[in-house]
Amino acid sequence: MNFTLNGVEVTGGKQEAIAPGGFPSRSNFLRRMWEGVSIVFASKTAVIGLAIVLFWVSVAVFAPFLTPYTPLEQDWKAPNQGPSSTHILGTDELGRDLWSRLIYGARVVLVIMPISESLWVPGGTALWGVFTALLIGMTLGLVSGYYGGWLDEIVMRLLDAIMAVPIILLYLIIMAALGASAMNVVIAITIVGTPGIARLVRSLTLDIRTREYIKAAETRGESPWYAMFVEILPNARGPIIVDAMLRVGYAIFAMGTLGFLGLGLPPPSPDWGSMVAKGREFILAGSPWAALWPSVAIASLVVGLNLLADGLREESMRYQ
Amino acid sequence: MVKFIVRRFLLLLLTMVLVSVAVFLITESSPGNVARNVLGSFVTPEQEASFLAQMGLDKPVYTRYLYWLLGSDWHASRKVGLSLKRIKTREGFEEWWALREDGALIRWKLQGEDLIAVVRLFEDTISEYFNNERWQPDEHGVSSFWGVDTKNHVVKWEKDSDLKVWTFVMGTGWMETTGGPIEYIPLKKGFIRGDPGLSLRTGRPVAKSLFIRLRNSLVLAGIAFIIVMPLALFLGMIAGLKEGTLRDRVLSVGGMMFSVTPEFATGIFLILIVAVWLGLVPGATVFGEKAPWERPDMLILPVLTLTLIELGYVLRITRASMVEVMRSPYIRTAFLKGLPYWRIVLKHAVPNALIAPITVIMLHVNWLMGGIVIVEVVFGYPGLGKYLLDSALHKDINALEAGAMVLVTVAVGTQLIADIIYTFLNPRIRYT
């Protein structure tokens, strides 16, 4: 989170004081962090957004300590119940505790990515999707912006073709082909996100490429890769970081949508989208809770992220 | 301009080709097949193989792609040695027949060892006769014959073949027959000639169901569009008139909240509030054979969901554009000239502020389609999106390809329209 705030603060373009080693000195770094935090608190919308996001991040991190049930534990005697003292938010159609499914669902989105039944890696599924899309998109954008010519033409036309395909169709085909798993959700988010990032990075690269310090690096005899990743990329980070923040929101949105269509995480795992899809069948039968809570969860998280990003953007624009 | 349109059109064709090839390859390379998805997991391997052969799915992927794109009748007709013709019966079914040397419509069926020709003279007059002289012996002494069967395939029969055939009849179950053909080519005209084939899932022509589904989706999207556009443009302009006022904050934050909330969540909230709690309208859509407009009460919630999502987006774009215009020097000049406030807003600001939203809205159609798919699933609305989802889940390749092509055409087509509108709205481009 600090890293992101720091990055947005940098977008303001106020501080370019960088120590000779290429890293910001320590006190400088702390000051910039403080400035980043103060930007958040200067905007009411950003504070509200931050509070919502922090709420979900903390329940996701501490999920195992916040509930006596596991998300898979079934209570056959109490299916489809409303909120009560034993189950704070009620139970779903198999008697699983909704609160624990909800917070373990947040965990899958924000904190861990399950690879197989017993194996998981840190970093939420949505975050991994954005990260890999950034990695590939940045590389493609840098390379085609820096080299130009036929390489640029080919890469950009291919990305144009991908962008022309309706996003929902891409998701459907990718997920129907790959099957439902967290890894495949990451792949789908990556394929859909890459073209946009590549375009952004390319346009930034086209601009920065003409600067003198790039000429200087080239004259020094640095390799193209050095020029791209050490000279151009750090100078383009501001817009990229803001874009990435919004993309986290899209990725959570996409994860929910995929889950809802039955293309997200495979069934027993707690996934907000698929919880809604299952719960939907019982709404008209008189038990709305299983569909209501995950809808509230995903809506609040995405709205929180956007409030935060909006507030930050407005405040940093005011500084400019 | 013409050059530009041609360029866009070529992009559309390129995208369609790329997407159709990609869909074929991806569906091909993924595990599972349509037989298991349609017939359930209790089919025997023989039944599965028989089903796949009758659907023409045992052929290599490039053959199937060519058949899908260009049709299979030209290839099949060379095998039969007669030209083939598709007719429409009085009941509305499509049937394929071969044209006999004298011009009569003819098909064949196998009864025991005997080849029987079925000749259709008029609408209701069908005569049958033994046609064993058509057997062609090959060098191994096996007699075979390529002909049109009664289920719209071109098939290769072999004499004394004891190959078992399982046909799955909806509602009845499996029918087992022996002496079946050893090779099938399902007849179709191909996508380019307007026939995307039969749905592997339902056995009905894709074009027919797709048309109805597309119509339903267009009804939904059209109504939402008609409601959203004036409302969002109006609210966006109101919000953008004075930046930073309470009215602006409420409208733009509210719009953002509605536009970023996933459609399924908005849909669930609306069902709970309007249908369950207030009990005003039904919370699901069940049309049966009826057209959507015959049950307008069932349309209310899906339209409302779509409206809320799109409203926020368009509102924010319009607001941003309006804010920018209101800040520009020529508006300040107009104020300084002492023109009346509403005259400046309506005559000077609004026309310029509308350019951006209208083009962006067109580009947004790509997103809107995603929204429609979700809304259709939430409310069980029988539209194109739900058809596409079911086809993708069942790997019903013919239906999936056709649906995908429709979506791509709509997406790229609206981009083209957006560009054209843009040049007309913005004289700076038109006159250069």
Q: What is the pLDDT of residues A154-205, one digit of tens each?
A: 888 888 878 878 888 888 888 777 777 888 889 889 988 999 999 999 988 9
Q: Which two tokens stand for residue B111?
A: 């009864």
For residue B37, pLDDT beyond 60: yes
For residue B249, pLDDT beyond 60: yes
- Enumerate the residues of chain A whose CB falls inside 8 A of the CB of residue B410: 166
User: Which tens digits make up the pLDDT trace of B99-117?
Assistant: 877 777 888 877 777 778 8
Domain boundary among B153, B186, B219: B186
User: Which tens digits make up the pLDDT trace of B347-371?
Assistant: 888 888 887 787 777 767 777 888 8
pLDDT grade for A300, boundaries at 50, 70 and 90 = very high
For residue B419, pLDDT beyond 70: yes
pLDDT grade for B165, boundaries at 50, 70 and 90 = confident
**Model pLDDT, residue B13:** 82
Contacts of A7 by beta carbon, 8 Å cutoff, 6+ apart? A237, A238, A241, A242
CB contact under 8 A, A260 and B377: yes
Write the CATH number for B401: 1.10.3720.10
Regarding whether B155 and B49 lie in a shared domain, the answer is yes
CB contact under 8 A, A280 and B378: yes
Regarding whether B307 and B387 lie in a shared domain, the answer is yes
Q: Distance from B242 to chain A by nearest Cα, in Å?
A: 16
For residue B387, pLDDT beyond 80: yes
**Model pLDDT, residue A194:** 92
Contacts of B395 by beta carbon, 8 Å cutoff, 6+ apart? A176, B27, B30, B32, B33, B34, B37
For residue A139, pLDDT beyond 80: yes
Among candidates A167, A256, A295 on the partner chain, residue whose Cβ is nearest the Cβ of B366: A167
CB contact under 8 A, A299 and B265: yes
**Model pLDDT, residue A4:** 41
Domain boundary among B135, B152, B186: B186
Contacts of A184 by beta carbon, 8 Å cutoff, 6+ apart? A174, A175, A178
Regarding whether B139 and B90 lie in a shared domain, the answer is yes
Q: Is the dihedral of CA A266, A272, A273, A277 positive or negative?
A: positive
Domain boundary among B140, B156, B186: B186
Instruction: For residues B392-418, give the mean pLDDT.
Output: 83
- Enumerate the residues of chain A whose CB falls inside 8 A of the CB of residue B276: 283-284, 288
Among candidates B18, B265, B400 on the partner chain, residue whose Cβ is nearest the Cβ of A298: B265
Contacts of A48 by beta carbon, 8 Å cutoff, 6+ apart? A304, A307
pLDDT grade for A11, boundaries at 50, 70 and 90 = very low
Regarding whether B174 and B60 lie in a shared domain, the answer is yes
Which of A253, A280, A300, A314 best tests the B interface by mutation, with the highest count of B CBs <10 A? A280
**Model pLDDT, residue A30:** 79
B11 within domain boundaries: no
Counting residues of chain B whose pLDDT is more than 90, the rounded percentage is 0
Regarding whether B161 and B59 lie in a shared domain, the answer is yes
Counting residues of chain B whose pLDDT is more than 70, the rounded percentage is 91
Q: How far apart are CA A110 and CA A61, in angstroms?
A: 8
B280 within domain boundaries: yes
For residue B400, pLDDT beyond 60: yes
**Model pLDDT, residue A141:** 92
Q: Distance from B32 to chain A by nearest Cα, in Å?
A: 9
**Model pLDDT, residue B98:** 82
**Model pLDDT, residue A140:** 93
B365 within domain boundaries: yes
**Model pLDDT, residue A143:** 92
User: Which tens digits make up the pLDDT trace of B285-328?
Assistant: 676 666 777 777 788 888 999 888 888 888 888 888 888 888 88
Regarding whether B262 and B234 lie in a shared domain, the answer is yes
- Better-predicted residue by pLDDT, B372 or A41: B372
How many domains does one find in chain B? 2
Residue of B nearest to A262 (CA): B393
B181 within domain boundaries: yes
Instruction: For residues A7-19, give the mean pLDDT.
Output: 42
- Better-predicted residue by pLDDT, B271 or B178: B271
B3 within domain boundaries: no
- Enumerate the residues of chain B whose CB falls inside 8 A of the CB of residue A262: 393
Among candidates A167, A174, A302 on the partner chain, residue whose Cβ is nearest the Cβ of B260: A302
User: Which tens digits make up the pLDDT trace of A23-76?
Assistant: 556 677 778 777 767 777 777 888 888 899 999 999 988 888 877 777 777 777
Regarding whether B285 and B321 lie in a shared domain, the answer is yes
Which of A168, A181, A315 best tests the B interface by mutation, with the highest count of B CBs <10 A? A168
- Enumerate the residues of chain A whose CB falls inside 8 A of the CB of residue B393: 176, 262
Counting residues of chain A whose pLDDT is more than 70, the rounded percentage is 89
Q: Is the dihedral of CA A20, A26, A30, A33 positive or negative?
A: positive
B195 within domain boundaries: no
Asked if this assembly's ipTM is beyond 0.85, the reply is no
Regarding whether B147 and B212 lie in a shared domain, the answer is no
Regarding whether B226 and B160 lie in a shared domain, the answer is no
Residue reference for tokens 């179950």: B173
Q: How far apart are CA A112 and CA A183, in angstroms?
A: 12
**Around B40, how many Cα atoms within 13 Å sit in the side-chain half-sphere?**
6
B30 within domain boundaries: no
Q: Could you say which residues from 10 to 69 on chain B have a Cβ atom under 8 Å away from some Cβ of chain A?
A: 11-12, 14-15, 18-19, 22-23, 26-27, 29-31
Q: Which two tokens stand for residue B127?
A: 């005569």
For residue A137, pLDDT beyond 90: yes
Max Cα separation, chain A?
A: 76
Instruction: For residues A250-263, give the mean pLDDT.
Output: 87
Residue of A nearest to B376 (CA): A261
Regarding whether B330 and B223 lie in a shared domain, the answer is yes
Q: What is the CA radius of gyration of chain B?
A: 29
Regarding whether B217 and B148 lie in a shared domain, the answer is no
CB contact under 8 A, B408 and A169: yes
CB contact under 8 A, B11 and A298: no
- Whether A51 and chain B come into contact, CB under 8 Å, resolves to no
Residue of B nearest to A168 (CA): B370
Angle at A179 between CA A125 and CA A291, to 5 degrees: 65
Q: How far apart are CA B384 and CA B392, in angstroms?
A: 12
pTM value is: 0.80
- Whether B257 and chain A come into contact, CB under 8 Å, resolves to yes
Contacts of B277 by beta carbon, 8 Å cutoff, 6+ apart? none
Q: Is the dihedral of CA A254, A257, A259, A261 positive or negative?
A: negative
Q: How far apart are CA B120 and CA B106, in angstroms?
A: 6
CB contact under 8 A, A276 and B256: no
Residue B103 lies in domain? 43-70+72-186
CB of A92 within 8 A of CB of A278?
yes
**Model pLDDT, residue A21:** 47
pLDDT grade for B173, boundaries at 50, 70 and 90 = low
**Model pLDDT, residue A142:** 92
- Better-predicted residue by pLDDT, B239 or A19: B239
- Enumerate the residues of chain A whose CB falls inside 8 A of the CB of residue B265: 256, 276, 295-296, 298-299
CB contact under 8 A, A310 and B27: no
* Most confident listed range (A7-21, B170-184, B235-249): B235-249
B7 within domain boundaries: no
Regarding whether B312 and B170 lie in a shared domain, the answer is no
Mean pLDDT of chain B: 80
